[in-house]
Copies of this chain bind each other. A is one copy, B any other.
Amino acid sequence: MTRVKLTVAYDGTDFRGWAAQTGRRTVQSILTDAVRRVSGEENEIVGASRTDSGAHARGQVCHFDTTRPIEPERWVGALNRLLPADVVVVNAKSVHPEFNSRFWALDRTYAYRIVWGPRDPFRERIAYWTPRPLDQDAMRATAQNLVGRHDFRAFTEELDPKVVNTVREMFAVDVRELRDGATIMVRGTAFLRGMMRRMAGAILEAGRGKRDPESIRSLLDPERRDALTWPVVLPAKGLRLERIRYGRHPRDARHNCQDDEEN
């Protein structure tokens, strides 16, 4: 038995997200079909992050087990020959038999792209458009206030009662300049459902002068947050899962995200 780790990129526009749902075109379903056609087995695919309907990925990670003696790198070509053009296997390797793409992740990096100025049909599928330029200094100040270990309750949707722990750690929240726009890059342990799209929403509001960057400190404070306007959620099309990092050894893994609902 070999455990295979895949790195997968997709344009999420025409997918109903990552997670398999009956009768829906999802990345997990299409990838599962392709893996099963190659192996002739009933493999289960376990993904690291359940990306939303319409969200993209450059570095989604998943794993599956197979008894077929296929060299790991052969999976790339075999799967890409079967997959549609909007999903691509970038890399395949054999991993430790206990490797788990979800629970062994050290951190995840998401990007949210905002563009302004004349509408650009070539960025329509992959960025959120706003007519006027944003104040990038205010965006950066807001981003800085999100770094660290905080209770991100105000950055998620109405909670599943099972999700009791809304504390997450963000290692880096950066605003990078684009031609006529900005990319918000966030690296953190794990993300609550809709959290990345609401962090981007708060940063956008600050960039429009509609939110004081200091209000973030109150939103992250359980005592004060309910008195405030919580951030808007931006559409999934601007969101992309960029990268998931893993340690070299199982003991590096952080078993800290059992109750996560990913972006």
A residues with a Cβ closer than 8 A to B are 9-11, 56, 58, 76, 80, 85-88, 90-91, 118-122, 124, 126
Contact A80 B9 (CB under 8 A): no
In the bound complex, residues from chain B placing their C-beta under 8 Å from that of A56 are: 122
A76–B121 CA distance with the chains assembled, in angstroms:
14
Kindly list 14 other residue pairs between chains A and B, CB separation below 8 angstroms, not including A85-B121, A85-B124: A9-B120, A9-B121, A11-B122, A11-B124, A56-B122, A58-B122, A85-B119, A86-B121, A86-B124, A87-B121, A88-B118, A88-B121, A90-B118, A91-B118
A90–B9 CA distance with the chains assembled, in angstroms:
31
What is the count of identical protomers in the complex? 2
CB distance from A126 to the nearest CB of B (A): 7
Contact B121 A11 (CB under 8 A): yes
Contact B120 A88 (CB under 8 A): yes
CB distance from A3 to the nearest CB of B (A): 22
A11–B87 CA distance with the chains assembled, in angstroms:
20
Question: Which residue of chain B has the shortest Cβ distance to A91 in the bound complex?
Answer: B118
Most B Cβ at <10 Å: residue of A80, A90, A122 = A122
Partner of A88, one of B80, B85, B119: B119
A80–B121 CA distance with the chains assembled, in angstroms:
11
A90–B118 CA distance with the chains assembled, in angstroms:
6
CB distance from A232 to the nearest CB of B (A): 20
Question: Which residue of chain B has the shortest Cβ distance to A131 in the bound complex?
Answer: B77
Question: Which residue of chain B has the shortest Cβ distance to A12 in the bound complex?
Answer: B121
CB distance from A113 to the nearest CB of B (A): 11
